[in-house]
Each structure stands twice: as structure tokens, then as C-alpha cells.
Amino acid sequence: MSRLANKVALVTGGADGIGAGIVRLFIEEGAQVIVADINRDKGETLAGSLGNNCHFVSLDVTEPDSWRAAMVIAEEVFGPLDILVQSAGWSRPASIEDATLDDWREHMKVHGEGAFLGCQAAIASMKKKAGGSIVNISTVESIRPGPLFTCYGAAKAAQDAVTKTVALHCGEMGYNIRCNSLHPAATYTPLLQQYLQNAPDPDALEKVYAGMQPLNRIASVGEVANAALFLASDDSSFVTGHQMYVDGGVLAKPYPSGQGA
């Protein structure tokens, strides 16, 4: 299939997890993809395995200079962006009593400032073309945070506000740049797999994670990537400012654990 033929995409956090799944799918769909990541080894390995339509750039999403340098390289290699996917992210679960101010600041920096800088960079690049699509990877925790996601939930909610205001601004300005967020629930990323494997009883913990979703399973990276493809492609050309849940029904439930039903 070629739903992204002639499109140039940059994927932050593209070396690993959901980001890497999106990179692979976008390449299959005919896009030229910049893998932007802070992890050079993993990013170069992935880009190297995907041929001439994939290129790695080093990017720390929290640093304006790093964004500037990455965008110069991206535009030199494939030209201005049609698509930005912001998948770079990080989380350290902790309650309000256990989290430190440094935790708070680090979450805000990666998710809030990262999204802010990324949208600025993408809009500047997409204005050189006829428009574009920004997909910010958020989480169900931004909509309905659990008790251990004080910092992560708040930072992702900040990112969501950036998404919406970017959508509204670009609409008002007539840029034909759309901006949406994608909210996965539990997803089989390498990080989650490792976490499950290290548990005393991996099967029991996996059942707990699966049971949070009405579909009673954990999403595959591919399922989240499919939703990113829909939002990135022209198939969603009238969708902007939307928070798309890819959550197996979690947010349709009265309460995440099901206890409140």
C-alpha cells in the first residue's frame, strides 16, 4: 500500500517502541522518514535497516538548538516535512507524595517543552509546503490519570493543550496543517515487555494489564501505528484538534479498573 506516497515524515523517539513501529509502517506506506532520537546507536541501526527512504538524525526534543540542527538535516535529506510524529517520551510513575520536583520538571520538559518546540519546528517546515499533519503521541493517562501519574499525567495534559491550540491556530491561519493527539492504553512496547518479564509473576501481571481494557488485551505496537497512519495521512483530512483514543475501550468505561462500574 502507499497511503503516504511522496510524504516526508519525522518521527521523534523513532528508534524504539511505538515510534519505531510508526517508522516501519510509514516506510511500508511509501513515506520518506527521518528517525529522530536521542539514542544514536538504536536510531542508526533502525534507519540503516530500512533503506534509502529512512535517515537518522540525533535529536534531544528538549533543546531548541537540537531541533534547529535536526530540521536543517531533515530538509537537506528529504525536503520540508509533511508529517511530524512526536513519540519521544519518558515516565517515572510516582504518587504526589513520592515524586520529586526534579521528576516534575523533567516530565514537563520532555512532554510539554518537547511538544512545544516540535510543533514550532514542524509548522515552520510545513509552511514551505501546502500543509501537513502533526501527530502527538499522548496517553490515556492525560485524560484519566491514575494515582501514580501526577507528573506524567500533568505533562501529557500540557502536551494535549499544545496539540489543540496548534490545531486551532493553524486552522485560523489557513495553513492546512492539522494537529491531533493519539492516546494509547497499555501497549506491547519493548519497555512494557521488559517490565512484565521482570515481575515476580509475569503472567499474572500481564492479565492485570490486559484486564484494564474492555477488549481484555494489550495493544500491539502495530495497532497504535495504524492509528498514527490514519491521522498522518490524507484519509483524515478533516480531522484536527482531536484526541484519538487507541485504548481498547478504557475511556468508555466508568472507571479504569472496572471497580466503579
Partner 1 sequence: MSLEFTGKVVLITGAASGLGYACAEAFCKQGAWVAIADISRKVVDEAVARLSDLPGEVLGLVCNVAEADQVESMVAEVVRTWGRLDVAVNNAGISSPLNPVANTEESDFDRVMSVNLKGVWLCMRAELRQMEKQGSGSIVNMASALSLRVFAGGSFYVASKFAVAGLTRTAAVEYAESGIRINAVCPGNVATPLVVSTVSSEMLDQLANVHAMKRLGKPEEIANAVMWLASEQASFNTGTILPVDGGWSAQ
Asked if 6 is part of the footprint of partner 1 (rule: CB under 8 A), the reply reads no
Asked if 247 is part of the footprint of partner 1 (rule: CB under 8 A), the reply reads yes
DSSP 8-class letter at 16: S
Whose CA is closest to 155, among 142, 166, 140? Answer: 142
Instruction: Pick out residues in 23-52 that bind partner 1 (CB under 8 A).
Output: none
Asked if 150 is part of the footprint of partner 1 (rule: CB under 8 A), the reply reads no
Closer residue to partner 1 in complex, CB, 73/191: 191
Asked if 246 is part of the footprint of partner 1 (rule: CB under 8 A), the reply reads yes
Contact segment (CB under 8 A) with partner 1 among 101-109, 122-130, 194-202, 234-242 equals: 234-242
Instruction: Pick out residues in 163-182 that bind partner 1 (CB under 8 A).
Output: 164, 167-168, 170-172, 174, 176, 178
Closer residue to partner 1 in complex, CB, 200/260: 260
Give first-to-last CA distance, the chain, whole Å.
42
Question: Among residues 33, 34, 229, 232, which is the contact residue for partner 1, using CB under 8 A?
Answer: 229
Contact 66, 114 (CB under 8 A): no
Asked if 224 is part of the footprint of partner 1 (rule: CB under 8 A), the reply reads yes
d(CA 135, CA 5): 18
Asked if 214 is part of the footprint of partner 1 (rule: CB under 8 A), the reply reads yes
Asked if 215 is part of the footprint of partner 1 (rule: CB under 8 A), the reply reads yes
Contact 228, 85 (CB under 8 A): yes
d(CA 195, CA 124): 39
Contact segment (CB under 8 A) with partner 1 among 81-89, 106-114, 141-149, 221-229 equals: 221-229
> Nine-digit cell at 150?
501526577
d(CA 98, CA 27): 42
By annotation, the residues acting in catalysis are 152
Asked if 188 is part of the footprint of partner 1 (rule: CB under 8 A), the reply reads no
Contacts 24+ apart (CB under 8 A), 48-54: 50/23, 50/24, 51/27, 53/27, 54/23, 54/27
Q: Partners of 177 in the beta sheet?
A: 132
Asked if 248 is part of the footprint of partner 1 (rule: CB under 8 A), the reply reads yes
Asked if 226 is part of the footprint of partner 1 (rule: CB under 8 A), the reply reads yes
Tell me whether strands 54-58 and 83-86 are parallel, antiparallel or unpaired: unpaired
Asked if 141 is part of the footprint of partner 1 (rule: CB under 8 A), the reply reads no
Question: Among residues 95, 193, 220, 257, which is the contact residue for partner 1, using CB under 8 A?
Answer: 220
Asked if 132 is part of the footprint of partner 1 (rule: CB under 8 A), the reply reads no
Asked if 101 is part of the footprint of partner 1 (rule: CB under 8 A), the reply reads no
Closer residue to partner 1 in complex, CB, 42/241: 241
Whose CA is closest to 186, among 207, 170, 155, 168? Answer: 207
Report H helices in the chain: 17-28, 40-49, 64-78, 101-107, 114-126, 150-173, 190-197, 202-211, 221-232
Interface contacts to partner 1, rule CB under 8 A: 1, 3, 164, 167-168, 170-172, 174, 176, 178, 213-216, 219-220, 223-224, 226-227, 229-230, 235-242, 244-249, 251-253
